[in-house]
């Protein structure tokens, strides 16, 4: 008996054992990998990421949506790298595109979809741009009105606050490098162009930044629903920093210790608290009327 026969009876041979070719499952897997991305086969999404690292450099801000892209082109406070646009969107923004000198690449809505997080409402526009120049606390105006955000992490809230800040002529927003959302993507879309018109001061230590604001003469006003004084009755002066805390947690202890006074917003209805972005809008309405 030969050595081959001593191995015993063999079961049914798989195709790859007989020919060396991939089996049916391997072919299926490889076929799926080879299929080009498109409307019927979108690229896998990276949930929770605003910057698809496989396509864009880490020092690129992604800005999408009509108002956000238009204001970025108009403000000219960034270095524009590239604009992806549908033919219809490019036609609507033709004057701004020409004035900015942006490199224009026409793309379908499906192609722009594939570059962005799932559910991004881009309206046929995606801008690649460098971040705005950084600002330090010492660069703030001596008669300014600014906002300080103490670990407000939701990009939709911060975006809405930026939109409101731009509408009220706020000079800058101070926030921490950590526990703050990226100034791009979802936040920029929520800001609806406001990000381009309000300076951002990113600090490592908020308590030290509050000290620096005090040295510059800023009145540091903490917003607190349980404060003993009403914002409408508080003695406000410029320069002023309105300090807002995260929903639920409010202002942290060290931040509270750096405030000069605390104020509340008096609400006549049954609900006594507001979303942080709504509270910011109401507070800025009262503050700007008092400051003139």
Asked if pLDDT for residue 17 goes beyond 90, the answer is no
- Is the residue at 2 inside a domain? no
Note the pLDDT of residue 92. 97
CA distance 143 to 112: 43
Domain holding 79, by residue range, is 61-129
Provide mean pLDDT across the span 98-103.
Answer: 94
- Is the residue at 99 inside a domain? yes
- Is the residue at 42 inside a domain? no
Residue % of the chain over a pLDDT of 70: 81
Asked if pLDDT for residue 11 goes beyond 60, the answer is no
- Is the residue at 21 inside a domain? no
Domain boundary (84, 105, 129) is at 129
- Is the residue at 30 inside a domain? no
CA distance 201 to 148: 9
125 and 197 in a single domain? The answer is no
151 and 270 in a single domain? The answer is yes
For the stretch 273-292, pLDDT in tens is 899 999 999 999 999 999 98
Note the pLDDT of residue 222. 98
Note the pLDDT of residue 58. 84
241 and 286 in a single domain? The answer is yes
Asked if pLDDT for residue 193 goes beyond 70, the answer is yes
Domain boundary (129, 154, 172) is at 129
197 and 263 in a single domain? The answer is yes
123 and 234 in a single domain? The answer is no
Mean pLDDT of all residues in the chain?
86
Nearest to 87, CA basis, from 119, 112, 124, 62: 124
Provide mean pLDDT across the span 244-251.
Answer: 90
Provide mean pLDDT across the span 125-129.
Answer: 97
- Is the residue at 3 inside a domain? no
185 and 240 in a single domain? The answer is yes
- Is the residue at 14 inside a domain? no
114 and 216 in a single domain? The answer is no
Note the pLDDT of residue 271. 85
CATH of the domain at 72: 3.30.1330.30
CA distance 117 to 2: 63
174 and 209 in a single domain? The answer is yes
Provide mean pLDDT across the span 21-49.
Answer: 44
65 and 184 in a single domain? The answer is no
Number of structural domains in the chain = 2
Domain boundary (129, 164, 180) is at 129
CATH of the domain at 240: 3.40.1280.10
Note the pLDDT of residue 273. 82
192 and 215 in a single domain? The answer is yes
Provide mean pLDDT across the span 236-245.
Answer: 98
Note the pLDDT of residue 10. 52
Note the pLDDT of residue 55. 63
**Cβ neighbours, 10 Å, residue 261:** 16
Asked if pLDDT for residue 8 goes beyond 60, the answer is no
70 and 213 in a single domain? The answer is no
80 and 144 in a single domain? The answer is no
Asked if pLDDT for residue 103 goes beyond 60, the answer is yes
- Is the residue at 185 inside a domain? yes
CA distance 102 to 78: 11
């Amino acid at each position: 008996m030969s050595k081959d026969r001593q191995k015993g009876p063999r079961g049914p041979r798989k195709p790859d054992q007989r020919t060396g070719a991939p089996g049916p499952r391997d072919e299926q897997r490889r076929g799926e990998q080879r299929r080009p991305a498109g409307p019927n086969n979108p690229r896998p999404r990276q949930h929770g990421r605003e910057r698809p690292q496989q396509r864009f450099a880490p020092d690129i801000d992604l800005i999408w949506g009509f108002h956000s892209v238009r204001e970025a082109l108009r403000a000219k406070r960034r270095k524009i790298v590239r604009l992806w646009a549908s033919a219809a969107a490019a036609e609507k923004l033709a004057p701004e595109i020409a004035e900015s000198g942006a490199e224009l690449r026409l793309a379908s809505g499906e192609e722009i979809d594939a570059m962005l997080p799932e559910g991004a409402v881009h309206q046929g526009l995606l801008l690649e741009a460098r971040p705005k120049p950084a600002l330090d606390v010492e660069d703030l105006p001596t008669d300014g009105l600014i906002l300080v955000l103490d670990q407000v992490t939701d990009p939709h809230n911060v975006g809405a606050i930026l939109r409101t800040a731009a509408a009220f002529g706020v000079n800058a927003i101070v926030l921490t490098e950590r526990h703050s959302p990226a100034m791009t993507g979802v936040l920029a879309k929520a800001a609806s162009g406001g990000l381009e018109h309000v300076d951002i001061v990113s600090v490592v230590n908020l308590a030290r930044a509050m000290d620096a604001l005090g040295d510059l003469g800023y009145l540091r006003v903490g917003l607190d629903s349980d404060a003993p004084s009403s914002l409408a009755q508080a003695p406000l002066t410029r320069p002023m920093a309105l300090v807002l805390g995260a929903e639920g947690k409010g202002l942290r202890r060290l931040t509270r210790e750096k405030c000069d006074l605390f104020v509340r917003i008096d609400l006549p209805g049954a609900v006594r608290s507001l979303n942080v972005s709504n509270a910011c809008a109401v507070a800025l309405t009262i503050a700007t009327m008092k400051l003139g």
